[in-house]
Chains A and B, each alone.
Chain A
Amino acid sequence: MKGWKKVLSKPSVTAGAFVMAAGLLLFSGVGGARAALNYYSETYSGRVQLQDIGVTLTENGENVSWRNYTEDGSWDQNTGTLLTNLLAEGESVNPGQKYDEVLAVKNTGTINQYVRVSVYKYWLDADGNKMQNVSPDLIDLHLTENGWIVDENSSTPERTVLYYSKLLNSGETSKAFADTLSIDPQVATKVTQTTATENGYTTITTTYDYDGLQFCVEASVDAVQEHNAEDAILSAWGRKVSISNGSLSLN
């Protein structure tokens, strides 16, 4: 121990360690740059190809929310609102009726990517507070499961996590992960009755339990690079996946 201390305390050893550390740091930087060059050399077409990642959530073919890395090093982003065109002006939601709600993901970056979507559905009371005692199952956002894999381990009655099984190429739009939205007609049958007797007359007042409640749908899209995707997904999303020939499966 004493001998080690003596060796380590020598200025030449410390300086040597410092030089090695600097070398390691530089080497790791060069390694990253080399990996990027290797990857993009395949699509090199005589101009500078930038590594811009970007993703957009679409609703019925329209861009709603996006976050795209731009050439100038900043993020072009927008958070939109779903269901804005669900009803015509003055129209109210008809329980039982199926409304078009086609949700998909578009790759709006310049690199290919893998994507996943977390879909949430829940109820709010008239004051906007989340209601825990009302079933999200009454909100039927129909999931196509066409090209999308449900991650059962991460899903709850309120949240469904979906992974797109294919690589989403730059500029490509995924298959829709949802196509229709309807509210279970049962909401129109659940009531609370209050009975009051006054002057010999009994009055029964019926109140609909779901009257005035808001149903909410939320979609959150995550995208990750194609390169080293298995490690990238584990690191970014904490989920082990396998990728073979561009096809993703859950472990």
Chain B
Amino acid sequence: MKHKNLILTALAAAMVLTGAMGSAYSYFTTNAEAAGAATISLGSRTEVQEEFSNWTKHVTVTSTEDSEPVYVRVKAFCGSEYSLVYSDSEGNWTPGSDGYYYYTPIVNAGETTTNLDVRIENVPADVKDAESFNVVVIYETTPVQYREDGTPYADWSVKLTTGTTEGGE
């Protein structure tokens, strides 16, 4: 009998508590979620090709398959007794006030620029050794920058921020 009373009391307490719990969880709620990701691809690798014929250097620059889109500029140097004349049959190279020739189109991964011809002028008629003419071609690339509306542009003043530098022999 005593146990029966205890059980009834416990059951009564449980019922009261259950009633209270019911009201605490009676709010209607729901939720939904979604996530997404995209990969950043950076870094460029380009190579310059030079062919020499008729006292003219034919310069092209190639971007490798995994390279990000870049802009290219080229400049050539030689001794002061000679002069260099640039020409471009495709009309893609534009002279800048700094002496560089700027390739107007974007060079995407795997693409090659059209020729920039650099002709050496005032070459003496009796010169037989072309190796004595030291014409140095310098080329630079810069990753394509984008304005907010997606318009691409070149920023040749971009400076890279170095995180860490590791040395080696």
Given A18-B11, A197-B168, A213-B40, is A96 in contact with B2 using a C-beta cutoff of 8 Å?
no
Contact of B38 among A24, A93, A187, A209 (CB under 8 A): A93
* Listed A/B pairs (20) with beta-carbon separation below 8 Å: A21-B12, A21-B13, A65-B32, A82-B36, A93-B38, A97-B148, A189-B158, A189-B161, A191-B161, A195-B165, A196-B167, A197-B168, A197-B169, A211-B41, A211-B42, A215-B37, A215-B40, A221-B31, A223-B31, A232-B28
Within 8 A of B (CB), among A224-243: 224-225, 228, 231-232, 235-236
- Please tell me if the beta carbons of A211 and B19 are within 8 angstroms of each other in the complex: no
1/0 per position for A67-83, CB-CB distance to B under 8 A? Answer: 11100000001011111
Contact of A187 among B19, B40, B152 (CB under 8 A): B40
Contact of B8 among A18, A68, A225 (CB under 8 A): A18
* Distance of A79 Cα from B40 Cα, bound (Å): 25
Within 8 A of A (CB), among B137-169: 143-150, 152, 158-169
B1 to chain A, nearest CB (A): 7
Provide the residues of chain B in CB contact with A56, threshold 8 Å: 32
- Please tell me if the beta carbons of B8 and A14 are within 8 angstroms of each other in the complex: yes
Within 8 A of B (CB), among A171-225: 182-183, 185-198, 206-225
Which chain B residues have a beta carbon within 8 Å of chain A's beta carbons?
Answer: 1-2, 5, 8-9, 11-13, 15-16, 18-20, 22-24, 26-43, 68, 143-150, 152, 158-169
- Please tell me if the beta carbons of B31 and A55 are within 8 angstroms of each other in the complex: yes
* Distance of A59 Cα from B32 Cα, bound (Å): 13
Q: Which residue of chain B has its CB nearest to the CB of A98?
A: B148
* Distance of A84 Cα from B32 Cα, bound (Å): 17
- Across the A-B interface, how many residue pairs have beta carbons closer than 8 Å? 222
Q: Which residue of chain A has its CB nearest to the CB of B143?
A: A188
* Distance of A64 Cα from B35 Cα, bound (Å): 10
- Please tell me if the beta carbons of A212 and B39 are within 8 angstroms of each other in the complex: yes
- Please tell me if the beta carbons of A97 and B68 are within 8 angstroms of each other in the complex: no
Provide the residues of chain A in CB contact with B31, threshold 8 Å: 55, 67, 220-223
* Distance of A231 Cα from B27 Cα, bound (Å): 9
- Please tell me if the beta carbons of B163 and A192 are within 8 angstroms of each other in the complex: yes
A24-B15, A212-B39 are known contacts; what are 20 more A-B pairs with Cβ within 8 Å? A24-B19, A28-B23, A29-B22, A55-B30, A67-B30, A87-B38, A93-B40, A95-B145, A96-B145, A98-B150, A191-B162, A192-B162, A193-B162, A195-B165, A195-B167, A216-B37, A217-B37, A218-B36, A220-B33, A224-B27
- Please tell me if the beta carbons of B168 and A195 are within 8 angstroms of each other in the complex: yes
B159 to chain A, nearest CB (A): 7
- Please tell me if the beta carbons of A190 and B161 are within 8 angstroms of each other in the complex: yes
Contact of B159 among A9, A55, A189, A231 (CB under 8 A): A189
- Please tell me if the beta carbons of B42 and A210 are within 8 angstroms of each other in the complex: yes
- Please tell me if the beta carbons of B150 and A79 are within 8 angstroms of each other in the complex: no
Kindly state whether residue A11 has any CB partner on chain B within 8 Å.
yes
Kindly state whether residue A57 has any CB partner on chain B within 8 Å.
yes
Contact of A97 among B11, B26, B28, B146 (CB under 8 A): B146
Q: Which residue of chain B has its CB nearest to the CB of A195?
A: B167
Provide the residues of chain A in CB contact with B1, threshold 8 Å: 11
- Please tell me if the beta carbons of B5 and A66 are within 8 angstroms of each other in the complex: no
- Please tell me if the beta carbons of A92 and B41 are within 8 angstroms of each other in the complex: yes
- Please tell me if the beta carbons of B15 and A211 are within 8 angstroms of each other in the complex: no
Provide the residues of chain B in CB contact with A194, threshold 8 Å: 165-166, 168
Provide the residues of chain A in CB contact with B166, threshold 8 Å: 192-195
- Please tell me if the beta carbons of B38 and A214 are within 8 angstroms of each other in the complex: yes
* Distance of A82 Cα from B167 Cα, bound (Å): 42
Provide the residues of chain B in CB contact with A3, threshold 8 Å: none
* Distance of A28 Cα from B23 Cα, bound (Å): 8
Closest 8 CB pairs of A and B: A82-B36, A83-B36, A21-B12, A208-B42, A218-B35, A220-B33, A232-B27, A225-B28
Kindly state whether residue A15 has any CB partner on chain B within 8 Å.
yes
* Distance of A81 Cα from B35 Cα, bound (Å): 5
A101 to chain B, nearest CB (A): 9
